[in-house]
Amino acid sequence: MNTRVAVAISGGIDSLFSAHLLIRDGYDVTGIHFITGYGALPQRDASLHDKPLSRVTDHGHADQKTRSAMDFISNQLDIPIHIVDLSPFFESGVVQYFVNEYQKNKTPNPCLRCNPLIKFGVLLDFAKSIGISRIATGHYARIIRDDTSGIHLYKGNDKGKDQAYFLAFLSRKQLESAIFPLGELAKNDIQQKSADLGLTPVSSKESQDICFIHGDYKHFLKGRPGFKIEPGPITTMDGKIIGRHQGLHSFTIGQRRGINCPAAFPYYVIGLEVRTNTLIVGPKEALLTDGCTVTGLSWINPPITFPATVTTRIRYAHAGTPSTLSHKENGNLCVEFHEPVSSVTPGQGAVFYDGDEILGGGWIV
């Protein structure tokens, strides 16, 4: 068995403990920290400014804070760490996607893009360039191989931290190269064991946050060159104009705050009409829908036959609902919910499950 593995080192406790577990299990571990161009890690020791970093190789002209932070991690684990600059790929593949989706009045999920394009895309390519064909991350998810060498993606055992949803768009080939050491573990246990071992992260930021936004996403969008913000009408579902909005980018399906139109009942965002730049609002019960269309399908293990009964999650925070999947003529998928679901949002990822196993997913249109 090839025991060489690269660990994506973010600076947080999850990737740090993942590397520790692999070292304990006899793997030959190398760390890789990638620069996105959005923020730097805290500096651990100012005296490192002129000190050679014997086990940290900087391929990307990192700032001194990042270099010293990775030296701190390297010394704890006694492993080499490579720093690589993936900011051009991150900017074009993740950040610009995020901006473009909001410009189309959709609500994007950048993590669903980042994992296949960056972590298990160009980062894995870098690992292969230094002779390592497998990459590990601190995701709370499980990979299970069956008796016929098939590969399956499952939820992490810690249901409060499960992150398999964010990995739903990985290809089978990418999963073959992936290791998730934390899949069987609980976050609380990891924190306690790390403390007992004296493992100290350099960042406390949770990986489920949008890593390139520090503060309000609306302020971030306003600062992007060419991002157009146009005021427009707020209407009820029957077309009655009841107010003005200052930009559709500030709203998403199911939102209540920020509408500011007094009525006998609370208004919720029911729709965003791109052609007329109109915000459509209505009562909460109007958010319920019987189904949706999904495009850009990515399958790990698709159902054997269609129509197929699965559980569908329409966003990460959604618990999931029983659904029937059937193909449409244009290659998209029709998702019929067995019970009405609230706030189905264009741009979000619909992920399909068979129990705890992820079958695949696509984008809600």
| Fold of the 287-364 domain | Elongation Factor Tu (Ef-tu); domain 3 (2.40.30)
pLDDT of residue 48: 47
| Start and end residues for every CATH 3.40.50.620 domain found in the chain | 4-197
User: Which distant-in-sequence residues (6+ apart) come within 8 Å of 275 by Cβ?
Assistant: none
Q: Does residue 211 carry a catalytic annotation? A: yes
CA 123-125-127 angle, 5° bins: 75
Catalytic site residue from 111, 114, 261, 334:
114
pLDDT of residue 209: 62
Instruction: Record the tokens describing residue 209, joined without a space.
Output: 């946050």
Residue with tokens 């993606």: 153
Homologous superfamily in CATH for domain 229-282: Adenine nucleotide alpha hydrolases-like domains (2.30.30.280)
pLDDT of residue 1: 57
**Contact in structure between 14 and 190 (CB atoms under 8 Å):** yes
3-state secondary structure of 299: strand
pLDDT of residue 344: 97
**Dist CA 160 CA 352 (whole Å):** 19
Model pTM score = 0.93
pLDDT of residue 55: 84
- Would you write out the chain's pLDDT as a tens digit for each of its 365 residues? 579 999 999 999 999 999 999 999 999 999 999 999 987 677 666 554 455 566 888 887 888 889 999 999 999 999 999 999 999 999 999 999 999 999 999 999 999 999 999 999 999 999 999 999 999 999 999 999 988 879 999 999 999 999 999 999 999 999 999 999 999 999 999 999 999 999 999 977 665 568 899 888 999 999 999 999 999 999 999 999 999 999 999 999 999 999 999 999 999 999 999 899 999 999 999 999 999 999 999 999 999 999 999 999 999 999 999 999 999 988 899 999 999 999 999 999 999 999 999 999 999 99
Query: What is the spatial order of strands in the sheet that 232-236 belongs to?
Result: 241-245, 232-236, 278-282, 268-273
| Fold of the 4-197 domain | Rossmann fold (3.40.50)
Q: Does residue 334 carry a catalytic annotation? A: no
Long-range contacts of range 153-159, CB-CB < 8 Å, 24 or more positions apart? 153/300, 153/357, 153/358, 154/183, 154/356, 154/357, 154/358, 155/353, 155/356, 155/357, 155/358, 156/180, 156/182, 156/183, 156/184, 157/183, 157/184, 157/185, 157/186, 158/185, 158/186, 158/187
Neighbours of 124 (CB within 10 A): 23
Instruction: Record the tokens describing residue 84, joined without a space.
Output: 């690589």
Alpha helical stretches, state H, 147-267: 172-176, 187-197, 217-222
Q: How far apart are the first and last CA of the chain?
A: 43
| Start and end residues for every CATH 2.30.30.280 domain found in the chain | 229-282
Neighbours of 61 (CB within 10 A): 10
Per-residue pLDDT tens digits for 109-159: 999 999 999 999 999 999 999 999 999 999 999 999 988 879 999 999 999
Catalytic site residue from 111, 211, 292, 334:
211
pLDDT of residue 305: 95
Alpha helical stretches, state H, 49-143: 64-77, 87-90, 96-103, 110-114, 123-129
| Start and end residues for every CATH 2.40.30.10 domain found in the chain | 287-364
Of 323, 352, 353, give the one whose Cα is nearest residue 340.
323
Per-residue pLDDT tens digits for 82-91: 999 999 999 9
pLDDT of residue 43: 65
Q: Fill in the amino acid letter for 19.
A: A
Residue with tokens 């074009």: 92
**Contact in structure between 123 and 134 (CB atoms under 8 Å):** no
